[in-house]
Amino acid sequence: MDDFWNRCLDELRISTPPDIFETWYSDLTAETDLDIGAITIYGGSSTKARNVQSAYGDTIQKLVNRLANKEMAIHWATRETPAPVSVSVERAPEPSIEERTGLLPNLTFENLVEGHANQLAVASALQVASTTNAIYNPLFIYGGVGLGKTHLMHAIGNRYLELNPKAKVRCVSAQQYIQEFLNAINQKAGSNNNDTAMREFEQRYRDLDLLLIDDIQNFAQRSGTQANFFQTFENMVPHGKKIVLTSDTYPNDLKDLQERLRSRLSQGLRVSVEPPEYEMRVQIVLQKAERSQLKLPLEVAEAIAANLKSNVRELEGAVQQVIAYSNFHGEEVTLEMAKMALRDIFRSSAQPVSVEEIQEIVAKHFNSTVADINGKSRKAEIVLVRSIAMYLAKELTTKSLPELGKLFGGRDHTTIIHSCKKIKAQRNTDENLRHVLHLLEQRIKN
Ligand code: ADP
Ligand code: MG
């Protein structure tokens, strides 16, 4: 056993709520070489290794550096745990759902908080998961980072499999699809044009009832993979087999996607997930705490939701931090304590973005000017640009309504309220507006 990794696990066990520890950390193993400053961490399965890496990679990196007292290089290994020394003759166990399909059992509809931001996406996802006819095919889910696209995709797969236990479901990241495709090509090239591997690869995908591919934007510039995926698509969709895709980019903006593929993607339904609004953030924080069996006072959940606005992963991180702090000190959570536990997170998320910056970004996007935004013009185009800037300023800064009024050319605060309401309502029905707001939000936050 690796002593160094055992020490890491001991620390994680103390600082992490039991269900998270069991789910994510308990079966990780590692081999450490402290002299050269490198550690190889093995996940229980390749899906698991990838998911731990993306969700908790930072936490582990910090911990490992701290315990080793230097910057360590982490290598994430995708093979199973290191080969045991003694060989046992037991029969291989049945593959788990996760191994068979790539679906993570924890990412379900039950664990997903619904709100304005994802209402449409959840409703469409439920349709796809629970009906046999394929009306929304393919379903294309897009939105910014950490907003729940991957979660929603796995939820569809899990629900579908619950309702159709015999169905063939496969859930992969675009990266994984690309890798499998390349492996098949390489084997063919390396074995005298023997295309068994390629046929196996294609069969694996064509026999499916439901195929879910995450982060399809990674197909950009991969014309070979795209051509192959086009064939997969043609073999599935016209026969009523379902495909669900996610992307961080609006489909029409996907660069370097072959036209025929783009046009196929637009045949189905496109839905966006938006950044969660305040009430939804409160619910998410409460839910994450409850799942970790932490008693979290409402005022603490509200403080977290008020301070962390951009994505759900950030909210999860905050809840974990509070849990670690409360376990470590052996105290119940209070607002004071949570503020203490989260002081660094709150400080680094303290709004660096100003209303002026927002006005500039919005003006530039619409080829308008800040002077127009703050001026008196009642021209429809300018009123719309102004309203969008007001809406984003309200969402993305902590300025009060009267302060915003002043910063928008000395207007009354009721004008700000009116504009925000108007944009909020229009956002629900107007896909173009959602797309523009999404773009602007990303630009403002970066
Ligand atoms: P994306 O794929 O859009 O980057 P993820 O699906 O990985 O985002 O979500 C990031 C984290 O936030 C995950 O742990 C996920 O379970 C959680 N999450 C996202 N949206 C919600 C939600 N609406 N309710 C509960 N948890 C959520
Ligand atoms: Mg994702």
The predicted pLDDT at position 89 comes to: 57
Residue carrying structure tokens 């081999």: 31
Give the pLDDT confidence score for residue 80 in this predicted structure: 55
Residue 353 has what pLDDT?
83
Residue nearest to atom 1 of ligand 1 (CA): 146
Which ligand 1 atom is at minimum distance from the Cα of 315?
Answer: 12
> Does a cis peptide bond (omega within 30 degrees of 0) precede residue 95?
no
- Ligand 1 atom closest to 107 (CA): 16
* pLDDT, position 337: 93
Mean pLDDT, 10 residues at a time, the chain of 446 residues: 88 80 85 88 79 83 89 79 54 81 95 94 96 88 93 98 95 95 88 85 89 95 92 92 92 82 89 91 95 91 90 92 90 92 79 86 94 94 96 89 95 94 90 86 78
Of 252, 253, 247, which Cα lies nearest the Cα of 272?
247
What the block records as the tokens of 35 is: 């002299």
**Quick check: helix, strand or coil at residue 321?**
helix
CA-proximal residue: ligand 1, atom 21 (nearest): 148
Beta carbon of 290 within 6 Å of any ligand 1 atom: no
The strand pairing partners of 212, in sequence order, are: 171, 244
**Does ligand 1 come within 6 angstroms of the Cβ of 313?**
yes
DSSP 320: H
The three-state secondary structure class of 251 is: helix
Q: 296 alpha carbon to ligand 1 midpoint, in Å? A: 20
Token pair for 245: 């895709």
Pairing of strands 38-42, 29-33: antiparallel
CB neighbours of 21 closer than 8 A, spacing ≥ 6? 12, 13
DSSP string, 17-84: -HHHIIIIITT-EEEEETTTTEEEEE-SSHHHHHHHHHHHHHHHHHHHHHHHTS--EEEEE-SSSPPP
Place of tokens 């068994």: 196
Which of 107, 116, 248, 312 best tests ligand 1's pocket when mutated (most atoms within 8 Å of CB)?
Answer: 312
Pick the residue whose CA is nearest to atom 9 on ligand 1: 148
**Which residue has 């063919």 as its token pair?**
188
**If you take atom 10 of ligand 1, which residue's CA is the nearest one?**
146
Counted residue by residue, the chain has a size of 446
For 331, residues 6+ apart whose C-beta sits below 8 A from its C-beta are 337
How far is Cα 294 from Cα 381, in angstroms, rounded to an integer? 49
**CA dist., res. 161 & res. 96, Å (int):** 13
Residue holding tokens 């008693």? 295
Residue 350's pLDDT is 60
Burial label for 84, CB within 10 Å (0-12, 13-18, 19+), is exposed
Instruction: Count the neighbouring beta carbons within 10 Å of the beta carbon of residue 289.
Output: 22
- CB-ligand 1 contact for 149 (6 Å cutoff): yes
Report the C-alpha gap between 5 and 83 in whole angstroms: 17
Strand partners, 75: 40
